[in-house]
Amino acid sequence: MRYWKAALLVATIVTLVLTLTVVSTLRSIPDLDVMLARRAGPVASASQDIHLNELPPHLVEALISAEDRNFYGNFGAEPLSMLRALYADIRAGRIVQGGSTISEQLAKNLLPPQRSRIVQKIREIVVVLMLEHRFSKDRILELYLNRVYFGGAAYGIEAAARRYFGKSARELTLYEAAMLVGLLPAPSFMNPLHDPGRAERRAQTVLQDMVEAGYLTPEERRRALASQGEVAAE
């Protein structure tokens, strides 16, 4: 009996601490408009923003295939994955599982880092819900593509296209789009100006992702690989 009373007391204390943490976290989240007005990096500016309908469809298809195949079917995060990641983070006392969906990655991009990584994770989840409530899926994609980091001091798809291929993102070929999308998990490590071979192998993987997602046929993938262009000189 004494054991159960002690367990109940501990559970109550933990619940109160978590509740206070969540309430404090919610109060500390900036207004969404304020977050969207911030621009990261020396080359990021509103003048480089590009509308989603101006981009080639294969760029969006490559992004969804490689980063978030259920993008149009989820509400910004996969519930089970979110709970599993948060549980793993709480157990470890730090973030051990990063954002996986496009909306989660955008939320992480918008928020300034916090000293407490668990608080940071909770803030990201809240911002995902804010984004999904306010914007359409296409608008979330547009926001993401215009601010995500592609390495080489290039923030946003337009800056990245000009940095690596010397052209507008509107003109990207299928292979070029696959290469840029392939940079996202590790932009500096995959930088084609520093290691072209690594970036090319990653582009091949993204093209295969597009085949598996139903956006390309194996023959279209083969033609894309055969028509790969040159990366602009540094």
Q: Measuring CA to CA, how many Å separate 187 from each of 64, 101, 136, 195?
A: 17, 17, 27, 11
- Our count of domains for the chain comes to 1
Q: Is the pLDDT of residue 152 over 80?
A: yes
Q: Does residue 26 form part of some domain?
A: no
Q: Does residue 222 form part of some domain?
A: yes
Closest CA relative to residue 215, chosen from 181, 183, 191: 181
Rounded to an integer, the average pLDDT of 184-197 is 93
Tokens describing residue 209: 């992702």
Distance CA 68, CA 203 (A): 16
Provide the residue type at 123 as one letter: R
pLDDT at site 17: 46
Confidence class of residue 58 from pLDDT cuts 50, 70 and 90? very high
Q: Does residue 66 form part of some domain?
A: yes
Mean model confidence pLDDT for the chain = 82
pLDDT at site 224: 96
pLDDT at site 119: 77
Is this prediction's pTM over 0.85? no
Q: Does residue 90 form part of some domain?
A: yes
- Render the burial of 215-228: b for 16+ CB within 10 Å, e for the rest: bbeeeebeebeeeb
Q: Does residue 59 form part of some domain?
A: yes
Q: Which residue has the tokens 């309430």?
A: 23
Q: What tens digit of pLDDT does each residue of 113-126 get?
A: 776 777 788 888 88
pLDDT at site 1: 58
- For residue 51, the enclosing domain spans 31-226
Give the CATH number of the domain where residue 39 resides: 1.10.3810.10
Q: Does residue 87 form part of some domain?
A: yes
Confidence class of residue 14 from pLDDT cuts 50, 70 and 90? very low
Q: Does residue 2 form part of some domain?
A: no
Q: Does residue 132 form part of some domain?
A: yes
